[in-house]
Chains A and B, each alone.
Chain A
Amino acid sequence: MTERICRRLADLLSQALDPAERDAVRGDLAELQAPRGKAVREMAGLVVRRQAVLLKDWRLWLTVLGLIGPAGVLLNRMARGLIGTIDRQLRTYLTYDVPYRNGLTMPEEAIVFLCQLFVLVLSSWIAGMAAGALLRRAVWTAGALFVLVWIVLAIVSPMPNVWLPGGIVFILPVIWGMRQGVRFGAPAFGAAISIAAVMAAMIAVATWTSGWRQAGLEAWSEGALPGGANWQTRLLPFAVMSWPAWCMLAIASLRKSGVLSR
């Protein structure tokens, strides 16, 4: 059992290396008949050294400051908000045996939730893909930084019931996007246009439906709770959160026009 875990762990770690180096190192460890635990340590040591060298690359820091930091914080907060909605419904139902009422019908509530969930998953996937395509060899460091954002937010602003599921809803699409970004690179112009179009449509729908909740709450409370934000204010977080999609579109169009090389 332990041996199987060690073998899987060494295989997983070796994925962070270039294919040729991965084969050579695994061959060396097999030839030296290194015990499994030692093989894992050796592999981890090499991966850490390789990633540490990449810390000198300015592109990593640009991506961290421009993409992973802001997108990670916004996506994480939105994920926590969404999971918080489910948590509130469940706890109200389990405690008082009635659904949590906010002026929306259940189908309306479900539509608002699903729209926001779709925008969140798509934005997380695109943020991951952008990080994977831009950083390639430093993708493990980028992934670790996304997780770090999640952990720091959990410490700074603890929400015990939602931090884990909220993090999973945000981290899994990021990892999936990173894999795609590393494998296929930045999308070509046609794909980037399609992604941006889907994103724009979903943002429009999510902005519109998020107004239902506020209008419903105002009607339900007979004006005691004001409807609040206008559409521009509701649009802003979605637009900021989705900026990696516009960034990918800009890169694809610059490449198409020949300003940027591949």
Chain B
Amino acid sequence: MLGEFEYLLLSAAARLKEEAYGASIRQDIEGSTGRRCSVGALYTTLDRLESKGLIQTWMADATPQRGGRPKRMVRLTAKGVAAAADFYNAVEQASRGLSWSASRVAVKA
């Protein structure tokens, strides 16, 4: 089963699609959770997910705004999509009937 941060990273990469790379994933996670995401946590988690076969990474073009340095691009594999879906289902199942789950629905409604 995935860890919480691994799930956040996979979700960000899935949302960003072709634009998923280190800096954009970090901004997405910080924007969606309101929590700080350090470079150290991001890059070590990327390595772990890649070694589990849940993502693929490769070095892409450099841009002037990055000081001419390349990006480490990220793409989910089919196994990664399945792992994220499993995690989401497990959290949803585990939250069923709980007060915070109900209050979130109430707030949304």
Q: Which residues of A contact B (CB under 8 A)?
A: 20-21, 23-32, 42-43, 45-50, 53
Contacts and interface: CB of A to CB of B under 8 A. Distances in A.
Contacts of A31: 23, 63, 65-66
Identify whether the interface residues of A are mostly helix, strand, loop, or mixed: helix
A26 B71 CA distance: 10
A46 B26 CA distance: 14
Interface in B7-29: 21-23, 26-27
Q: Which of A24, A26, A48 has the most CB of B within 10 A?
A: A24
Interface string B69-84: 1111000000000000
A43 B43 contact: no
A45 B41 CA distance: 8
Contacts of A21: 43, 72
Contacts of A20: 59, 70, 72
B40 interface: yes
Nearest to B58: A20
Contacts of A27: 22-23, 62, 66-67, 69-71
A46 B59 contact: no
Interface of B: 21-23, 26-27, 38-41, 43-44, 59, 62-63, 65-67, 69-72
A24 B72 contact: yes
A24 B71 contact: yes
B40 A24 contact: no
A48 B23 CA distance: 20
A29 B69 CA distance: 10
Given A30-B66, A32-B27, A24 B44 contact: no
Contacts of B21: 24, 28
A30 B65 contact: yes
B39 A28 contact: yes
A172 B39 CA distance: 31
Contacts of B38: 42, 45-46
Contacts of B70: 20, 23-24, 27
A24 B65 contact: no
